[in-house]
Structure 1
């Protein structure tokens, strides 16, 4: 899974990658820094802690992304 979305804090999109096949779990944050995680669960926990729905230009896209990630964690 790969998601790209805009926030109210940056003119460039943020990126979320949850690639089970290659074991890649990472984000590119609003300040263009990156975070790398060992699992999808860690990535999801970071997102829920550090990002808020109100930060997103399209909050419903953020909600959908979180829902898809949570559902995929339950399937593993």
Structure 2
């Protein structure tokens, strides 16, 4: 039973806000924490073609309290 809870916690989705640094467009998505503690969203680029985005956890998301690091697709750290 404990192993099932740990597996479920590893695949817990986190709500994130993705904001384009170029046009200001915002997207609300879900991400999944990976083994390194980063959150993977699968977001590649904005509709304007820009890949430079800011990713932040939103609402009552637990990840920031647990120390997850948010990263862009180019592996640059956001927080």
TM-score tier (shorter): under 0.3
TM-score, normalization by structure 1: 0.27
Larger fraction in helix: 1
TM-score, normalised by the number of residues in structure 2: 0.27
